Amino acid sequence: MTEPRKLFIKTYGCQMNVYDSERMAEAMGGEGYVLTDQAEGADMVLLNTCHIREKASEKLYSDLGRLRPLKAANPNLKIGVAGCVAQAEGDEILRRMPLVDLVVGPQAYHRLPEMAWAGRQQVDTEFPVEDKFDLLPARKAPRGPTAFLTVQEGCDKFCAFCVVPYTRGAEVSRPGARILDEAAKLVERGVREITLLGQNVNAYHGAGEGGDWTLARLIRALAAIPGLERLRYTTSHPNDMEDDLIAAHGDLPALMPYLHLPVQSGSDRILKAMNRKHTAEQYLRLVERIRAARPDILLSSDFIVGFPGETDRDFEDTMELIRAVGFGSAFSFKYSARPGTPAAEKPPVEEALADDRLQTLQALITAQQRAAQEAMVGREVGVLYEKPGRLAGQMVGKSDHLHAVHVEDPQGRVGELVRVRVSASASNSLAAVRIP
Ligand code: SAH
Ligand code: SF4
Ligand code: F3S
C-alpha cells in the first residue's frame, strides 16, 4: 500500500472559511490526502485566507514566506491559496509569491482536486453558475457533536467599508432540500448541534417545498430532524430580521437563545455613511421585539471604531447604544481601509484616537460580558459536551447561551446534552454542576 499524502490546511477569518476548509479536506480526501496538523512533512499546504482587514490579508504573505524553506527542501510540495485574498488578489499572489502552485477563489472549491493534479500556477477565481456545494463530495466520517453548515453565501448589501460583496459575490441561497439532506447526514455522523452560516444568513431565501423558504421556514424544517437538538445561525443583518424569524425564537425550543446581530455603530450619521440603511433607534426597537419573543436571549454584535469622519459625539452615541442594549459579548475592530471600497476614499480618523476609542469600547463590552455571565450563576441551563476538560472527571461544552461551561462529571460523554446548574463565573467561562 502507498503512504497517504498529507494535507495541511490553515484557516483564517470567519466561520464560513472553517466550513469551507472542512469541505476542501473532504474533497482532497477523495484524492487520497489525509489531514495533518503541521506544514512540515506535508505534501500539500492550503492557506484559506481572509481579506476583511489589512492585518488579516497581510498574514498570508508572511505565512507564505515561512513556507519557502519547506518548498526548497521538497520541490514536490504543492502550495495553494484559497479564500477571500485568493479572490481579491489572485494574480498579485502569483506575481509576488512564485512558490504558490494554485489559487482558488471561494466559489471554485469543487475544482480543487483537478487543480491539484494539474501543472503549476493554476488560478480559478470564477463565480461559476453551478453550485459548488453539490459538486463537493458528501461528508462521511464520524465527527464531533457540533457542525457548521453554510446555507447562504455572498452579500448584496455593500456596506461602505466591506470587501465581502467583492470577494464572495452576490447573495445566493442553497435549496432547502439539499440543506436538510446535508443536516440529516451530519446527524447520522453524531452531530447534535448545527450552526447555519451565511454572510447574511437571515436574508436566506432558498427554493423549498411549496415555494420560497425563509430562514425561519428552513429552521422549522431542520428542527424536525430526529436527533438534531440545537440550532443556531450567524451572521444576521438587522434589516433582514423578519417577524417569522423573531417568532421562531419564541416558540422553537431547538433554536438557541443567542443571536449575533452586528450594528457597527450607534451614530445615525455614521450608520448612514456606512450604508447600513437603519438608524440606532430602529436597532433598539428591533432588540425590544426580539426580547419580547425570547426574554432570556443573549445578544452579541460587531462594532467598528474610527470609521472615516467619526467624531467624539458619534463615538459617544455608540457607547450609549451599547449601554442601552447590554450585550452578552461583542467583537470590535478598528476601521481598516480596504482597497476598492467606497469608504477607503475618505480621510481616516487619527490612529491614536481610534486606538483610544477601541479600548474604551472594549472595556464596556468586557464589563457587560462579565455581568451577563454573573447573571447565569444559580440558573439551570443545557450544555452539550464537546470534549473532556483539562482536569480529570471534567467535561467542557457550550451552554444554550453559548457560554463555555466546565462541568464536574466523571461519567460524562462527548456528545451528551445535559442539564446543569451554574455554580460560578470565571473570566471567560462558567462552572456548573450536573443535575441528575
Ligand atoms: N455580514 C456581517 C459581517 C461580515 S464581516 C454583517 O453584516 O455584519 C465581520 C465584521 O468585520 C463586520 O461586522 C465588521 O464589524 C468587521 N469589518 C468588516 N469590514 C471591516 C473593515 N474594513 N474594517 C474594520 N472592520 C471591518
Ligand atoms: Fe459586509 Fe455589510 Fe455585507 Fe456584512 S452586510 S458582509 S458588513 S457588506
Ligand atoms: Fe474574511 Fe472572507 Fe470571511 S473576507 S470574514 S474570510 S467572508
Domain ranges of the chain: 5-124, 138-256, 262-375, 380-434
Q: Tell me the pLDDT of the chain (436 aa) as tens digits.
A: 578 899 999 999 999 999 999 999 988 988 889 999 999 999 999 999 999 999 988 899 999 999 999 999 999 999 999 999 999 999 999 999 999 999 999 988 888 888 877 766 777 777 765 667 776 766 667 789 999 999 999 999 999 999 999 999 999 999 999 999 999 999 999 999 999 999 999 999 999 989 999 999 999 999 999 999 999 999 999 999 999 999 999 999 999 999 999 999 999 999 999 999 999 999 999 999 999 999 999 999 999 999 999 999 999 999 999 999 999 999 999 999 999 999 999 999 999 999 999 999 999 999 999 999 999 999 999 999 999 999 999 999 999 999 999 999 999 999 999 999 999 999 899 999 999 8
CATH topology agreement for domains 5-124 and 380-434: no
Choosing from 87, 162, 307, 341 the residue with most ligand 2 atoms within 8 A of its CB, the one to mutate for a pocket test is 162
For the domain spanning 138-256, the CATH number is 3.30.750.210
Q: Which residues pair with 384 in a beta bridge?
A: 398, 417
Angle between helices 243-251 and 215-223 (to 10 degrees): 20
Q: What single-letter amino acid sits at 316?
A: E
Instruction: Give the fold, CATH level 3, of 262-375.
Output: Transcription Regulator spoIIAA (3.30.750)
Query: Cα–Cα distance between 45 and 63 in angstroms, integer?
Result: 11
Pocket of ligand 1 (CB under 6 A): 52-53, 161-162, 164, 199-200, 235, 237, 262, 264, 302, 304, 333, 335-336, 338
Query: Cα–Cα distance between 247 and 312 in angstroms, integer?
Result: 38
User: What is the assigned CATH class of domain 380-434?
Assistant: mainly beta
Tell whether the torsion through CA atoms of 18, 88, 240 and 134 is positive or negative. negative
Q: Does the beta carbon of 84 sit less than 6 angstroms from any atom of ligand 3?
A: yes
Task: At 260, list the grid cell.
Answer: 449575533
Task: At 332, list the grid cell.
Answer: 470590535
Query: Cα–Cα distance between 268 and 272 in angstroms, integer?
Result: 6
Which CATH number among 3.30.70.1290, 3.40.50.2300, 3.40.50.10490, 3.40.1190.10 corresponds to the domain 5-124? 3.40.50.2300
Choosing from 18, 50, 51, 52 the residue with most ligand 1 atoms within 8 A of its CB, the one to mutate for a pocket test is 52
